């Protein structure tokens, strides 16, 4: 039987999850600074990525974060990787666990991609440390 959740409810759940993981300031900036052209993709990401997937019970958020770090490394998506390094830290993932994910990706998806991920993560950690 299909879930009877409405699009609005899924969007709102996604917005809450997105704010919890990525930080309210980041999400507010993303939504306020989007153009009318890009607004549909922001809404899609909020509803489906965050509302339909990140809110599921099947995996803890730490695991979802680690998976995202590995996939974004494999895809070489540095901007999104930085966002998700911050999110992983917010989800309680340790720097050592992040390091291990990037070492694992070096073997399976390539050293250059992993090196870039290490650089991105170090930059994010420096920002986080400066703000503490």
Q: What local confidence, expressed as pLDDT, does residue 54 receive? A: 97
User: CA-to-CA distance for 10 and 47, rounded, in angstroms?
Assistant: 6
Number of H helices, E strands in the chain: 7, 0
User: CA-to-CA distance for 121 and 9, rounded, in angstroms?
Assistant: 33
Q: What are phi and psi of 60, to 5 degrees?
A: -70, 155
Q: Which fold has domain 59-132?
A: AhpD-like (1.20.1290)
Residues of the chain with CATH 1.20.1290.10: 59-132
The label of the residue with tokens 């770090």 reads: 69
User: Helix, strand, coil shares of the chain as percentages rounded to 5?
Assistant: 80, 0, 20
Q: Is the pLDDT of residue 3 over 70?
A: no
Using alpha carbons only, what angle is made at residue 68 by residues 66 and 69, rounded to the nearest 5 degrees?
65
Q: What local confidence, expressed as pLDDT, does residue 132 receive? A: 82
Q: Quote the pTM value.
A: 0.90
User: CA-to-CA distance for 89 and 132, rounded, in angstroms?
Assistant: 13
Q: Is the pLDDT of residue 7 over 80?
A: yes
- pLDDT tens digits, 27-54: 999 999 999 999 999 999 999 999 999 9
Mark residue 7 as left, alpha or beta (left: phi above 0; alpha: psi -120 to 50; beta: remaining).
Answer: alpha
Dihedral angle over CA of 93, 99, 101, 105, nearest 10: 160
Q: What local confidence, expressed as pLDDT, does residue 5 receive? A: 74
Q: What local confidence, expressed as pLDDT, does residue 2 receive? A: 61
User: CA-to-CA distance for 10 and 83, rounded, in angstroms?
Assistant: 22
- pLDDT tens digits, 66-121: 999 999 999 999 999 999 999 999 999 999 999 999 999 999 999 999 999 999 99
């Amino acid at each position: 039987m299909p879930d009877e959740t409405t699009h609005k409810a899924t969007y709102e759940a996604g917005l809450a999850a997105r704010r919890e993981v990525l930080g309210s300031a980041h999400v507010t900036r993303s939504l306020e600074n989007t153009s009318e052209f890009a607004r549909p993709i922001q809404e899609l990401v909020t509803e489906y990525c965050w509302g339909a997937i990140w809110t599921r019970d099947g995996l803890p958020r730490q695991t979802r974060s680690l998976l995202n770090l590995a996939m974004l490394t494999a895809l070489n998506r540095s901007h999104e990787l930085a966002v998700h390094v911050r999110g992983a830290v917010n989800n309680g993932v340790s720097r050592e666990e992040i390091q291990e994910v990037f070492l694992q990706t070096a073997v399976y998806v390539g050293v250059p991609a992993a090196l870039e991920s290490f650089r991105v993560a170090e930059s994010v950690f420096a920002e986080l440390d400066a703000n503490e």
